[in-house]
Amino acid sequence: MPVILSSTQTGPRETFFSDNSVESRISMRHTGFVNAILKVNDRVIINPNAYFSTQARSSELVVGINANYNLSEFGEKQLLAGVYYRLGDAIVPMVGFEINKLQFAFSYDVTVSGLSKYNGYRGASEFSIIKKGFYPENVDRQSICPTF
């Protein structure tokens, strides 16, 4: 079961002015993620997970589960479905399809908190495309992310 912890090390300034005070710095953000991949049978895999993040006096906890249903002999075609809960804020159902390690998913944030009256009782839609796989070891890749 993978457990990922991360933390933003620097505190960038949150101002358009030349104010160098401590109050204009963004607080450090701490993030934790726990994930499991459980094979129920030859056709079904479930994936429970949890995400926690905290920054200054704010925090967020998201828990959920999704399932993959194998439609083919070797898993190259799968149906996906799941549901997540963002504590005190939203329920997020998700459906999708995967073919040859290319995943298409749709989710919708259903706001269940008092914020729903401010978003007109509308949530938020999200469509994602995910390419799964590994990079070949013998290919040079250029990293666009900074390294320290």
Does the pLDDT value for residue 52 go beyond 90?
yes
Nearest 5°: the CA angle 102, 7, 27 is: 125
The Cα 116–Cα 31 span in angstroms is: 26
Name the pLDDT band for 16 (thresholds 50, 70, 90): low
- pLDDT value, residue 74: 85
Q: What dihedral angle (degrees, nearest 10) is formed by the CA atoms of 31, 84, 61, 102?
A: 10
Q: Please report the pLDDT score of residue 120 as a whole number.
A: 80
pLDDT at 139 over 80: no
* 77 pLDDT above the threshold of 60: yes
